[in-house]
Amino acid sequence: MRAIGKLVIFSAPSGAGKTTLVKEILKNEKFRLEFSVSACSREKRANEIHGRDYYFLSVAEFKVKIAENAFVEWEEVYADSYYGTLKSEVEHIRNSGKNVVFDVDVAGGLNIKNQFGDNALSLFIMPPSIEELENRLRNRKSDNEDSIKKRLAKAEFEITFADKFDKIIINDDLQTAVREIQNILDCFLKE
Ligand code: ADP
Ligand code: 5GP
């Protein structure tokens, strides 16, 4: 038997490869995983879809949801860019008999782990180096220079929290990282 209603948290500095890894892991149906779509107030990127990648809200709309206590956690990840995990999203996935996957920043990941304890597994995705992180952010071509600088500055700080997570995964070779995560999930999601 496999567990249901458990939470798997992916946190990392932006550009380390969380989104890529999460997509790979979601392909493995045996884990019964569903992605928790967050709300956020940044601009939508060209390849993103409202409701699939994020619920894109204005800053004002996001603040209304904060006031309504609609979030499990939320952070102003970058100035005026709010991101938050919706309670409704987590409840819906757990009630449908699935396990929940989160792609959240480091503070958000630690916050969710604190609230859900042993029902949650927190994974820190580590880039092989800051230089490689910068390469990945540039090659992704989704952020302007200012945004890349902000993300790199924040990355060095975020990496200092890595040892507070249940596991650290070094995302150097993608397939090696995927296999490592699958082995960890095989264990965590066994009832
Ligand atoms: P995040 O979600 O953490 O911000 P992404 O998944 O968007 O990061 O990855 C950032 C960029 O790095 C993307 O262009 C992605 O294709 C690339 N990437 C991810 N993992 C690897 C890897 N192991 N080796 C090389 N490039 C990678
Ligand atoms: P991006 O703009 O690259 O999609 O995401 C920027 C950062 O916000 C990433 O570290 C991502 O994991 C984080 N993030 C996405 N959703 C949430 C959320 O719901 N809560 C928190 N705390 N961070 C989030």
User: Which atom of ligand 1 approaches the CA of 23 most closely?
Assistant: 6
Residue 126: pLDDT band with limits 50, 70, 90:
very high
Domain boundaries defined on the chain:
7-186
Q: What angle do CA 130, 127, 157 make, to 5 degrees?
A: 60
| Neighbouring-strand partners of residue 40 | 56, 83
| Neighbouring-strand partners of residue 103 | 10
For residue 21, the CA-to-ligand 1 centroid distance in Å is 8
pLDDT at 4 over 90: no
- How high is the pLDDT of residue 79? 84
* Mutation pick for ligand 2 pocket among 7, 38, 102 (CB with most ligand atoms within 8 Å): 38
CA distances from 181 to 38, 119, 149, 163, 169 (A): 22, 17, 29, 17, 8
pLDDT at 191 over 80: no
- How confident is the model over 171-189, as a mean pLDDT? 98
* Mutation pick for ligand 2 pocket among 66, 74, 105, 114 (CB with most ligand atoms within 8 Å): 105
Q: Is the CB of 15 under 6 A from ligand 1?
A: yes
What angle do helix axes 145-159 and 130-140 make, rounded to 10 degrees? 150
- How high is the pLDDT of residue 89? 97
Which CATH fold topology does 7-186 show?
Rossmann fold (3.40.50)
pLDDT at 75 over 90: yes
Residue 59: pLDDT band with limits 50, 70, 90:
very high
